[in-house]
Amino acid sequence: MKRAILLVDHGSSRREANELLERLAEQVAERIPDAIVSYAHMDLAEPTIAQGIEACTAAGAEELVVHPYFLGPGNHSSSDIPRLVRAAASRHPGLRVRITEPLGLHPKLVDVILDRVDEAGP
């Protein structure tokens, strides 16, 4: 079964903020070369979630794992994104869709925070 991973953030009116998700998707794709990896923005920018799902299915995805690129389980990751994903995925009845939890608490996030603290200098 061909798997796709769709990373979803909020989206921004700032181009450089949106480009971060695109670069993250590229890095994920490098780690999992046999998967389809794409990205989408929930609001304010394209590709939209619907466009992201269309791109994944056009590339042959039979299974879609959506990852809300958010820190916590707020309304966007708990309600808005699942609603938008369900609506867009309904156009693809054979597509198996799962949605992950947001980033949440993870020891590797502590490492990232401490790296950022160190980068800020004394």
The CATH number covering residue 70 comes to 3.40.50.1400
- Compute φ and ψ for 81, nearest 5 degrees: -65, -45
Region 48-73: what's the mean pLDDT? 97
What's the whole-model pTM score?
Answer: 0.94
3-state DSSP assignment of residue 5? strand
Write the CA distances from 34 to 28, 46, 51, 63, integer angstroms. 11, 25, 21, 13
- Domain span at 107: 3-119
| Mean of the per-residue pLDDT values of the chain | 96
Per-residue pLDDT reduced to its tens digit, 82-94: 999 999 999 999 9
- Compute φ and ψ for 58, nearest 5 degrees: -65, -30
Q: Does the pLDDT at position 74 exceed 90?
A: yes
Please report which confidence band the pLDDT of residue 1 belongs to, taking 50, 70 and 90 as the band edges. confident
Count how many domains the chain has.
1
